[in-house]
Chains A and B, each alone.
Chain A
Amino acid sequence: MSEQPGRDRHQRQTLILLIVSLVAILTAVGISILFATQFDRIVFLHFPLGFYILAQGVLIVMVAIAFWAANAQEHIDNTLAESEED
């Protein structure tokens, strides 16, 4: 048993957040590259879809993940601080 369960939980949640964020980004990029030529057969906003996804779609997803991860990590940090105060 660890002497600091609050800190261990914090480390675990931080690691999970990191893995989830990285997997989400890599999945988005990977799928976009892998199926780019197939997506290109579909037209979206006058763009070939594969082109649009890599030019803008994945960027939007990545930035959304960046802000979400920053907020989620702040929540995790606040939870640790509150649990230690209790």
Chain B
Amino acid sequence: MKTKPTKHLILLFIVPVLFFVVLVDLNGSTIRKGTLRVGAARECINPPEKMFPGTGEYQNYIGIHDSLFVRTIVIDNGITRAALVSMDMSGVPEGGFSLDIATATMIRPENLFICATHTHSGWRLQRNDNSSEYYDLIKAATIKSLRDAIGRLQPARVGFAEGKAYVNTNRDEKIGEGYHMGYVPDGPSDKTVAVLSFTTHEGEPIAIYANYPVHAVVMYRAKTRDGHPEVSADLPGATARYVESHFKNVIALWTSGAAGDQNPLFMANYNQDGPDVFDEGAAGYAILDVQARRLGEEIVRLTRSIRNTSSDVQIWAKKSSVTCPGRQRKYPPDPNVPRQGYLAPAIIEMIEGDPVTIPLHLLMINDIALAGVSAEVFTEIGINLKAQSLFDRTIMVTHLPEKVGYIPTDKAFLLPSEKAIVNNLAPGCAEPSMINAFIAMMEEYITLRGADN
């Protein structure tokens, strides 16, 4: 039996604590930990037979070499649900696609972390084409994949590892009068492979979220069948297949890092912008295979190396954006000049243009930061973000929805890189602004989760 004064003392202690908890919950100002559950799934997003042949100089596909997929991982801690999505497409469909997916799956838009692998051998939707049959197919497949993943939620652990792979290279090469897409082995290049693994409590992999900075262009422009190119998920698809073949029932999401100036070490259409371009044709798939194996081997090794996993997680996400001064071309006025080619003019006159807004997206899973950018970011910006990040475990993911184009370093504007010379961004803003914006979001997360940490 407790005495009355003791009861009073207990009440005196409990009431303020309850009041504090209620206050915190009402304000949504803390991030609670919960037991992690994870599910994963994938769905084919191949264009139907009747869509072939494709149109366009490099997209007149005659058929499918290897299937395109949307792959999803749903993570849930009992309090917050989030989803990681990777699509074998050049870009995430526009026109409210992400919002539609979020609504259909009841995942809050800021917790839907969606990106494209940027395969150049995928089927390209026209900008804002949200009324075609193929758009509907992709939407339905993405929703189904997410619902399947939700249906497969099981207790899980999350882990992280980083390694290296040598299948990318800087591509800003001086060819003819200007810098074009070529081969610069001594240029800046982030070789980091990052792996986020989700396993059962017994350690069996459920899903892998892999990240590497390289353009998915091994088979781009290669004529592999009857003088035509074929649809392919390229390096991301081949790597994901390799990883999935090395674990039972794993779903391997491949995401691109800061690859704005990074190409594969070897491409089937060799020297695509050089005077001595050469198409290896269908044999180019051997070039794709060996590079995917090498990258896949490192992802598999890293997945197996992970030791410090966690089954209790905080999940938090936020979207933000930065706006930078813009510019537009004055000379030459023809927007098709400079064309891709070694004789492109090296001097372009740019004048002030509309400001450019770069959408950013941060997803935190404990101390793992997924820093998403709706753009194609040059490799050194990714390296610098990771160097300045408040979290050792930071991954830059690119090709998020509503892409704004390439984001070069200021150094790349000085070359000028082919992707800087006509860029709508004025130099001097994007890199520091994006890094500061990510750090500000991370600080907010740190503040919010303070109570639990």
On whether the two chains bind one another, the answer is: no
Give the A-binding residues of B (Cβ under 8 A). none
